[in-house]
Structure 1
């Protein structure tokens, strides 16, 4: 059994909690409050730019071979394809570039991307790859689960179909194969650290959905730093 299969099994209770979350249930049946979805899209747009940086950081640290090209392509895909999807959906809601620029990432978003960037830059590259992997796998699981439930005229069908698409599934498979290759060559200690990193990121995925649902925000008013 592969490393990615084992770690996915270990993370399944977290994924089950994600799929049972009212945000995801509302996303599937179209009852999710549009304001909640807009909060999510704004925060996810901020997240995607930093996620692409984490992917690129991992790619730069890999030994030569197809893994470098694969992760670099994934970084471009995360930065471009998903950004286009977000721009389309935000544009349909009257939310433009100025709104994106003004958005302050939530504490949850900030914590998640900080963890990913640290893992990608400072941990062994195997651990960095494991840390970025749940964003691939969880979104595929969510897309496939929601696709089975979303009505043909569902409000969020465009979003669901993007993450249930065959092309996205293939990208997930490639990323998991890379992680498996790295795990196969890693020491027991690094493999254990890979598993811990994967599970931490899976928990952050749950927190990200929940943050949008709760209206997560910084506890103090946003202030501008002084001009010195």
Structure 2
């Protein structure tokens, strides 16, 4: 069993909770209120900017030109997706940009940036992996079960497509290779980081579903 397969087994209850979450369920059914989707896209745009920064930090830590190039491309792609959100989805779904991170987005991005900064490349890779992997699986799940004439079909198609699937496969291969070179203690840290990010993925969906705001 690959190391990433072990990671997935570890977070299977979290992933199942994500699939059962009202946001994901209603998004697939096409019944998610527009205000909730707008909140989500606003926060996702803010998230992707810091996600790109975390990937760029990992690229600096990479030892080989191939890994530097791969992680740099991932960082660039995150910014490209963020621009697509602004240029396409913001207009398509009548969304106004937001400049303030809500609680889950703030917690998630700070965790990724801190992990990429102070932990090893292997641990950092495990921390960013859920954003790749869980989104692919959720995207495929929603695509397979989405209602016809779904108002959010443009978003669904992005994460269920072949291009994104290939990117996720590359990230999985990188994480497995780094794990094979890591010590048992480092692999334990990788598993912990992967689990934390997976939990934060659930919180990100949940914030959008509840329209969560800072209490004060």
Say whether the fold is shared (TM-score over 0.5).
yes
In 2, Cα distance between the equivalents of 1:202 and 1:128?
14
Work out whether 1:13 is the aligned partner of 2:45: no
Q: CA deviation at 1:175?
A: 0.3
Counterparts of 1:101-116 in structure 2, within 5 Å, are 102-116=98-112
Deviation per residue, 1:8-49 (Å, 9 max, x gap): 111111010001001001110100001000000001111000
In 1, Cα distance between the equivalents of 2:190 and 2:35?
36
Residue in structure 2 matched with residue 226 of structure 1 by the alignment: none
Residue in structure 2 matched with residue 206 of structure 1 by the alignment: 202
Q: CA deviation at 1:219?
A: 1.2
Work out whether 1:215 is the aligned partner of 2:214: no
Root-mean-square deviation (CA, aligned residues, Å) is: 1.1
Q: CA deviation at 1:86?
A: 4.7
User: Are the equivalent residues in 2 in contact too, given 1:53–1:75 (CA < 8 A)?
Assistant: yes
In 1, Cα distance between the equivalents of 2:175 and 2:9?
15
Query: 1:189 and 1:139, CA in 2 relative to 1: closer, same or farther beyond 3 A?
Result: same
What is the TM-score normalised by the length of structure 1?
0.92
Structure 2: gaps spanning 5 or more residues = none
Structure 1: gaps spanning 5 or more residues = 221-228
What is the TM-score normalised by the length of structure 2?
0.97
In 1, Cα distance between the equivalents of 2:176 and 2:80?
26
Secondary structure at the counterpart of residue 104 of structure 1: coil
Residue in structure 2 matched with residue 47 of structure 1 by the alignment: 47
Residue in structure 2 matched with residue 224 of structure 1 by the alignment: none
Q: CA deviation at 1:216?
A: 1.1
In 1, Cα distance between the equivalents of 2:142 and 2:87?
21
Q: CA deviation at 1:119?
A: 0.3
Aligned residue pairs: how many? 216
Structure 1 stretches of at least 4 aligned residues deviating more than 4 Å after TM superposition: none
Deviation per residue, 1:55-88 (Å, 9 max, x gap): 1101111112311111111111111034304531
Q: CA deviation at 1:125?
A: 1.4
Residue in structure 2 matched with residue 66 of structure 1 by the alignment: 66
Counterparts of 1:76-155 in structure 2, within 5 Å, are 76-95=76-95, 99-100=96-97, 102-155=98-151
